Amino acid sequence: MPTRDDVVAPAPQDLGTLDAPHPHGIRPSGQVASGNYAKNRRMSRATEPEDRHRTTQMRIVHVLLGTASADSMNGVNKVVHYLATEQQRAGHDVEVWSLTGKRQSYPSAPTSYRRRTFTTTPLRFVLSGDLREALRTLHLDALVQLHSVFIPEFRSIADTLYRRGIVYGLTPHGGYSPWVLAKDRVQKAVYVTLVEGRILRRAHLLHAVGESELDDLRRLAPRTDVVLVPNGQVSLERREPVDHRDVRPVFCFCGRLALKHKGLDLLLDGFSRYLSAGGVGTLWLVGDGPDRRVLESMIGRLGLAASVRLHGAKYGEERVGLLAAADVFVHTSRWEGLPTAVLEAAALGVPVLISHATNLAPTVERHGAGFVLADNTADEIAKMMKRAETSVRDGSARALGRGATEMIEDEFSWSRVADSLVARFRSEGFGSG
């Protein structure tokens, strides 16, 4: 699967558009359903038990590469878990299908939704026998949501769903960002045209989690409906922070250690300039990833070994305790869908310092939940870190922390997210019984 690191953003028009006649059976807004979808939906309703018509329950299947888990360092895995949990709580019939490289058992933690795991095959476009059978027997009124992009199995899954007339949507989670498409530009352009394009055109709904995704999706699939619904965040009581003796303020990043994607080169450079300008404090990097050794080398080259702590991957209460102990949570990504770690820190009452690429800037500013970089540059990061240090010293950071928790409560509840997605499909006549 293509990676997302070490890329240069292309002009949006470079990859062209996938505007083609919309396949029969999937209807853009305002059109009458026809073809495979309408035929199979009529058959489905005719053969359902009578009580199915008296309920608002929907059959929902989420499909992802990996394992849905609340304790994952992968944002997509975490999002799928919470979304499925909330939809099940709302009375829907929810399954999560995990595609993995080898047969594995799920974690022991129970879930309210059903979980199924399917192994991928060496020829990625060829589905395993049990996955083919699951698709063959899937109820015609099911709604399938595919999560993430550049997953070869999704082309075969989408083709099967289309042939059977089963509605599906796609949540790219920031995967079509110009930064992502720029790496291996020619290969990606061909792949998008031949593989992703068909998935996009046949999807009933494309789900953007951040404002920056809207233009990307509308450019790639102008005839497919797009809805903007952000990720959610569970409410968290203020945890007991881990005990530490690091110099405050503590700036904390938590996530995948991907240098370009997460802007960690900018963060380290900015932190170095902040210290050189008289700032004091410590930077924590919580997580692991492909660029850890590069980051360790950069830390040594900048002379930051005494001020930067690499905690490695942490999970559960240990990770939450580190977040709670931070004075400011920092996220300087170059591109994102909507980063779950920022929401988790905000739910703990930690002020955030973010780039516009997180798609959270207007919301953070509206709620007074932290600091927003005017430009994602080392100099701007250094300036905002100094401002954050001042707020910690004079106590005004406490008000920012209260604004952060209020932001989560007001705008990012999972019940609100789940209801918004279901309502959008229902507005088009799906799952209404």
pLDDT number for residue 103: 61
* CA 112 – CA 131 distance, rounded (Å): 22
Which of 28, 9, 427 minimizes the C-alpha distance to 212?
A: 9
pLDDT number for residue 53: 33
Q: For 45-73, b where at least 16 C-beta lie within 10 A, e where not — what string?
A: eeeeeeeeeeeeebbbbbbbbbbbbeebb
DSSP sequence for 231-281 = ------PPPPPPP--PPSSEEEEES---TTTTTHHHHHHHHHHHHHTT---
Extract the tokens encoding 129. Answer: 């026998």
Domains of the chain: 12-232+414-427 (3.40.50.2000), 250-411 (3.40.50.2000)
DSSP sequence for 4-63 = --S--PPPGGGG-----PPPTT---TTSPP-HHHHHHHHHHHHHS-GGGGG----EEEEE
pLDDT, one tens digit per residue, over 53-89 is 334 689 999 999 999 998 887 889 999 999 999 999 9
* CA 97 – CA 85 distance, rounded (Å): 14
Total-model pTM: 0.79
pLDDT number for residue 35: 45
pLDDT number for residue 72: 83
pLDDT, one tens digit per residue, over 219-261 is 999 999 999 999 999 888 766 667 788 889 999 999 999 999 9
Confidence of residue 328 (pLDDT cuts 50, 70, 90): very high
* CA 280 – CA 306 distance, rounded (Å): 12
Percent of the chain with pLDDT over 70: 84
Which of 233, 411, 252, 256 minimizes the C-alpha distance to 336?
A: 256
Confidence of residue 106 (pLDDT cuts 50, 70, 90): low
Contact 227, 260 (CB under 8 A): no
The CA R_g of the chain, rounded to the nearest whole Å, is 22
pLDDT number for residue 427: 82
pLDDT, one tens digit per residue, over 337-386 is 899 999 999 999 999 999 999 999 999 999 999 999 999 999 999 999 99
pLDDT, one tens digit per residue, over 190-230 is 999 999 999 999 999 999 999 989 999 999 999 999 999 99
